[in-house]
Chain A
Amino acid sequence: MQYKMQTKNLNLHYGNKQALYNISLDVPTNKVVALIGPSGCGKSTFLKTLNRMNDLVENVHIDGDIFLDGSDIYAPDTDIVHLRKRVGMVFQRPNPFPMSIYENIAYGPRIHGISNKKQLDEIVEKSLRNAALWDEVKDRLNDSAMGMSGGQQQRLCIARVLAVEPEVILMDEPCSALDPISTMKIEELVTVLKEKYTIVMVTHNMQQAARVSDYTAFFLNGKLIEHDITDVIFTNPSNKETEDYISGRFG
């Protein structure tokens, strides 16, 4: 098994408060890993350590190791902009830029130095196609992204991540603000995207974790309680707390 990302004995403190305890988790290449657990269990915090989004929070202290393709992403010489290109992120609420659909997608590649119009056109089309959005928006690429539906906006955000050709996509409850049909579209998309990308997804929707992920990790009070193949977690978890949580006994 090849691992795209690995964490080893990861501890994270916000000031004096410890939020993550000794997390060691492997993320296999081209698989979907779902992170589940009740609110405040540390799953989103953990997700954000994978592309160093927590660097933006004051008073954060992290120890332990996080590897991307075997290289420590917290090494002093890490180029954070390049890291976040390789490890992209989709947030809970769709957050398109207040500009056209086209410009939303072209923005990232431009920052990374692509200015050729033809090349940008190709990237925009390819990204929108890969995010299963092209057919819905190809005739209105110059319309504002703010006029799209929530589900379309979220797929636009996924297309925006795809435009900079990442290797890993982090998703923080990507469907929690979406209607059921849009949710299903995103889930369909995730199963297609994993052929090319490695995906780590935080979700509060247990059935979503069961449907789309290959591996599931259960967090509770900042600790990784259990992680295993999703089929095992949802049929016969070894830990009682995992069983109680996934069967809705608490949370």
Chain B
Amino acid sequence: MKYYLLAILYCVINIANSQQNCTHILSGNVHDFHDGSPMSGATIYIETFNTYTTTSINGDFTINNLCNGTVTLVVSHIGCKTKRVDIQVNSNTSYEINMEHHTEALNEVQINSNGTTRLTRTAQETQLKTKALERFSAFSLGDALNQISGVSSINTGSTIIKPIINGLHSSRITTITNGVRLQDQEWGIEHAPSVDINAADQISVVKGSASLAYGGDAIGGIIITRPANPVLKDTLYGKTIFGGSSNGKGFNVNTRINKNYESGWFSQLQASYKKNGDFKAPDYNLTNTGLNAKALSARFGKKLFESGFEVYYSFLDNEIGILGASHVGSAFDLERAINSGTPVLVKDFSYKINEPKQDITHHLLKGSYFKRFKKFGKVNLQYDYQNNQRFEFDVRIGDRRLIPAVDLKLQTHSLLADVKLDANLNRKINFGIMTRYQNNFANPNTGVRRLIPDYDKYDFGTYSTIQMRLHSDLIVDAGLRYDFNRIDAKKFYRKSRWRERGYNTDFSNIIIKETPTQFLTNPIFNYHNISVSTGLNYSFYKNHKIIVNYSLTSRPPNASELFSDGLHHSASRFEIGDIRFNKEVSNRASLSYAYSQSKFNFLVETFYNRLNNFIYLRPLDFIKTIRGPFALWEYQQTNAELFGLDFTSTYHFNDSLLWQNKTAFIKGYDLNTNLPLIDIPAFNTENEIVYNNAAWFDFSASLKSDWIFEQNEYPNFNFDIENRLNGEMITIDISSPPPAYHVLHFYSEATFGLGKHTHLNVGLGVNNIFNTSYRNYLNRLRFFADDLGRNITLQLTLNY
């Protein structure tokens, strides 16, 4: 019977077809891809007939009187990407159209009212966009992040800039570049992040660890850099930046080319080169502070709304000169350098980079794939490999000057799977797992005992976060993460050190080999960490917003804190780790209040961070060596607290004139000794007046004042050593912070159209206008020389 009916139907259709009867009906339904809900009021343009229709409250539409053939519909809806579909009609046809939220597709994350993308809704997050980043093309990631209130940096000279977020740095900050967690020996205080700022299109900084998907050990914060999102359009575009700077006679070139296709294929190639010679302080040259930096990144893939993949590769090679005057021997040398007030080594300008210097190369390769499932969400898979090679060359005698004193190769493989359930836009769930294997190889050919031993490290992490919109003005979120870390090291200990540390009583079972002077040991440590984060985001009376967050985070001690054992040049000290350390645990609560109005807006971010088993370095003893006396700095564990307030406000006098203030205040204390913590940024306030005139080639000019106060709360770690020649006691003042300083900067730019899609931006800046001499408490070379003098920069940015 069924077949009979079908046969009849077939005949009817065939007859209809043969008669070219234009009576077919196309009935359709428009749905939201995410949750399958019907979309009412969507506009449907029937290209074939040049007519319009709209969908009903149920998302339904009907088009009558269609002939055999193809019907082209263009469907649009507010907030969605316009969709074009070709439908073959040979009979009465029904068709289902799934619409995607355009903004969601572009950013993968929520969009707030200002149109900026956010990772989480309850974290203290700040973003830097393309425009803000382009100005720092000639500088580093750390320099760019310094623009954010509450973010500062700990520097080694002017080219090694390590970000500090709310007083914490190094291993306590996680850096994510294009979805990959950077593994670049970040434990070292003079190891700058291996990131070329030119490869980033957008940078987010999250204070604290509220974003658990990226790791559970980011006690200080998370830095996320992202490349530009591909656009679904057949297009070829690019950008080239040329820059020059007077101080250091530096120049930089960066160029980027993007090719995109409407089919979703995209590719991008980017390369940059920076070079400068010796920088200059107002009164003298900073000999051996040159930089030679090369970077390259390439990516291609296919990105559609429903699925996509990406292959990404980046390479970076930085050769960095370290201020020659900072190479000191014994504590006497350090004392002479501190008290002389000027660097002991000053030579004529040169581009040559001598020892001491660093040479770092970093390769990163990533492959990722995602697929969206209707009424479910998005699944993302990623594999990445990183290879970080660090050479540090010291001032050495004889042929050995060509051999690095530090030669570390760190290789990391990571595998990630992440699922985002966003079928219900009011309740988003995210969960995933991460596995990582890492191998560190310390080359023994340096002829210097290894700073960090050879080790294998295994990490496993799993997390789940949920974000709920309880009300149109109220969002709450919560997250839970578990991490397992295992470090399996092979370390040589000199027998004298082994006994001095008392390891012979506690760790005799880990000795696997004995040589005349050293023990080879095999320490294996496992750490289990639980991280929690929860918060809420509440908007009220239209202009007000409150964000509250609490997070619990644990960080296992890093290789340096566990195993350090050796002389640190430029600090003139021995640094000794401790294998007895436990993980560091942070409880951080934060509260933000934002007020925004057309003319005036401000943001106050406060936090309190309680750290248990906080690891830090302090001088505790001396060692009398053949080179004179040296201070012995030992890693210690204590309980500590940090609290602070970051303030950002903007006032628009009129359309063309605005004033902006950024102020940060932070305190940190060691709760066991009641001493202030070392290296805490002093109170600082930045005021800027910006004038802009869009009608005049988008001209803008700004004057910025940076006022850094003297840090009056610091631990007094000064020590006295005896000059055994005459019995005199000499005080080594390594603690006293430099006085407050104030510097003024100027920047102006204008953009000129050179064609339909081509425009040229010219930027002229003067840093430290009055050539003020100053030293920064957070510059590790402050003992030896002043900071940079006046620097005039010119930058041409060509977009095409």
A and B form one complex: no
Residues of A at under 8 Å CB distance from B? none
B contact set with A: CB distance below 8 Å? none
